[in-house]
Amino acid sequence: MRVLVRHEEIVDICKKLGAQLTKDYAGKQPLVACVLKGACPFHSELIKHIDLDIEVDYIHVSSYKGTESTGTVVFKKDFDIDITGKDLIIVEDIVDTGVTLSTLKPILESKGISSLKFVSMLDKPSKRKVEFKPDYVGKTIEDLFVIGFGLDLDEKYRNLKDIYVYNED
Ligand code: IMP
């Protein structure tokens, strides 16, 4: 399998994004939430590089794609922390069709938060079915199925430290 993003590059991406978030949220104490399970390794690395008094939480959502562009999101695990009034940063592994995060967005916005931004380690804009633009992106990639560093295929490969292109011919 071809390595697409080496571990060192992922760490560099986290350093860069962490520095940007540190700057953008200066004077604030954002709640940096990880979307389980795929974003776990990325979130863990990213938060090391945010030099602020942040809070951390974990959510697990399932999205069901509807007939058209819309979807439904079910919380398999909701926030432990009360998010009212928080500056919320949602950390995701990859944005593909955009259905998951575009569906999640209005749900979160209805919960009385102060602000909401989305960070994604990878972005596949060519695969979009609905309009969604993450506020912070680690790396934009082509239409490839990738595994490793949290990204899975049927729950496997999440533990790989680099990101690979799966079964490329
Ligand atoms: P979407 O943006 O709603 O289509 O879904 C995003 C989710 O699909 C991500 O959080 C991943 O769990 C999964 N996903 C999309 N593309 C890939 C990939 O290339 N490898 C592994 N998982 C992927």
Q: Is 149 inside a domain boundary?
A: no
Helix (H) or strand (E) holding 100: helix 99-109
Q: Is 169 inside a domain boundary?
A: no
Q: Counting atoms of ligand 1 from 1, which one is nearest the CA of 152?
A: 21
pLDDT of 65 reads 62
Structural domain span for residue 71: 8-142
Tell me, what CATH number does 21's domain have? 3.40.50.2020
Q: Is 63 inside a domain boundary?
A: yes
Q: Name residues of the chain where pLDDT drops below 50.
A: none
The three-point CA angle 103-30-110 to 5° equals 35
pLDDT of 72 reads 82
Q: Is 122 inside a domain boundary?
A: yes
Is there an atom of ligand 1 within 6 Å of 90 CB? no
Q: Residue of the nearest CA to atom 20 in ligand 1?
A: 146
Enter the DSSP assignment of 45.
H
pLDDT of 138 reads 98
- Beta strand pairing status for 31-36 and 2-5? unpaired
d(Cα 58, Cα 32) in Å, to the nearest integer? Answer: 9
pLDDT of 62 reads 84
- Centre of ligand 1 to C-alpha 12, Å, is 22
Tokens (6 digits) for 157: 């490969």
- Centre of ligand 1 to C-alpha 98, Å, is 9
Query: Residues 82, 96, 135, 162: which is the catalytic one?
Result: 96
80-111 pLDDT, tens digit each: 999 999 999 999 999 999 999 999 999 999 99
Is there an atom of ligand 1 within 6 Å of 95 CB? yes
User: Is the entire prediction scored with pTM above 0.85?
Assistant: yes
Q: Is 151 inside a domain boundary?
A: no
pLDDT of 167 reads 81
* Number of domains, the chain: 1
pLDDT of 168 reads 74
Q: Is 81 inside a domain boundary?
A: yes
Whether residue 82 lies in the annotated active site: no
Q: Is 158 inside a domain boundary?
A: no
Which of 2, 93, 147 should be mutated for ligand 1, with most atoms under 8 A from CB? 93
Q: Is 22 inside a domain boundary?
A: yes
